Homo-oligomer: A and B are copies of this chain.
Amino acid sequence: MLCTQLRHAILFALFAASPASAQTAPAPAARPESIGPKEFTIASFRTESGTVLPKAIVVYGTYGTLNAAHDNAVLLPSHYMGNYHGYEWLIGPGRALPPSQLFLIATELFGNGRSSSPSNTPEPLAGPRFPVMTIRDNVEAVHRLLTEELKITHLRAVVGFSMGAQQAFQWGVSYPDFMSRIVATSGTAKNYPHGVVRLEGQISALTADPAFNAGNYTSQPKRGLEAFGMVWAGWLYSQEWWRRELWRASRPPGTTFERVVERFRTGFMPGADANNLILQMRTWEHHDVGTTKGFNGDVEKALASIKVPLLYMPSETDLYFPVGDARYEAPFIPHVTLLPIPSLWGHTAGAASNPADAKFLNDNITKFLAGGN
């Protein structure tokens, strides 16, 4: 049930104007066929913070078939509160990732409620006692899934959106030879200070409700979750998206602005657990490829260590990961193609929240993976 709730939540959060997968041309007949959710369990998983999880579980799904040479795999790491279905706008015949040729592994971040999370981990690490996971913790766990469970030692590509992009950059720094190419959409290699301020605002809104009770609640802190949704709403799309009422594109006729706002307040991520929401915000907040061992906190040096071609696609109107941050980072990456998505859809542009962006992403990622760009 949580799965269904989360999927709805994610669809709403990212594709509030309906999933692009239903709109992209050429449109596949149906949702791409996947196998999942599957679980990979790691015993005694030591996090960067030093805490050891007795059983760390990574949930994932796959599309297509791993070939005999084990050299047709692409990794798709999930975004904030995402599940493994979050990349289906890229998957299918005529899209950038055809399962007829590729083996796609779509993994779910710790804290999403299915992979190990505050909400599903037994004491003594339940709820607010669950350790802050870093993006690197997630990359390490997935590296073990790939090498130990799936016997994959090289990827054709890592493709990530948002917190998936954070992971993609980290793969490039932690395992510079493990993949041939990297694609990062609507995400940067470091969460810069504004991102901390924004996320702290969202956490403050959630925890202003004393029902949160430092994470030791018996039922979800309803008012806090509503405030969280309402605050988040302001950051998701561009100011112009709202002025032009682009939400009309996919809402039923007669939908009012007030109804759209109310939906954010009361139904932003229905079913999501407050501690999980906060855990993943902390993961996001702390990310910095520069703090990878050997780089001494130097993000520029870490970016310079990325060996493979990287297609960097910020959204021109993203308020989370602004295009200015991407313009700052790109010159340090040796083989980079910086290609902003010309969109009014803010952060969501990088997940193809509308047909034009879906086409732009698919066209350019297809070309890039074929060796173009």
Contact = CB atoms under 8 A, between A and B. Distances in A.
B226 A208 contact: yes
Q: How many copies does the complex hold?
A: 2
Contacts of A240: 322, 324-325
Interface in A203-262: 204-210, 223-224, 226-227, 230-235, 237-243, 245, 257, 261
A197 interface: yes
Contacts of A200: 230, 233, 261, 265
Contacts of A325: 239-240, 243
A234 B204 contact: no
A50 interface: no
A201 B243 contact: no
Given A196-B261, A209-B210, A257-B193, A201 B231 contact: yes
Contacts of A226: 204, 208
A194 B243 CA distance: 7
A198 interface: yes
Given A205-B201, A205-B204, A226-B204, A194 B324 contact: no
Nearest to A200: B230
A264 interface: yes
Q: Which of A205, A319, A328 has the most CB of B within 10 A?
A: A205
A232 B231 CA distance: 10
Given A224-B208, A261-B196, A328 B243 contact: yes
Contact of A197 (B196, B197, B202, B242): B242
A192 interface: yes
B204 A231 contact: yes
Contacts of A202: 231
A329 B209 CA distance: 39
Nearest to A192: B243
Counting from the closest, the 8 A-B pairs by CB-CB distance are A194-B242, A201-B231, A208-B227, A205-B205, A204-B227, A204-B230, A194-B239, A208-B208
Given A197-B233, A197-B242, 6 more contacts: A201-B233, A204-B205, A204-B226, A204-B265, A205-B230, A208-B223
Interface of A: 192-198, 200-202, 204-210, 223-224, 226-227, 230-235, 237-243, 245, 257, 261, 264-265, 319, 322, 324-325, 328
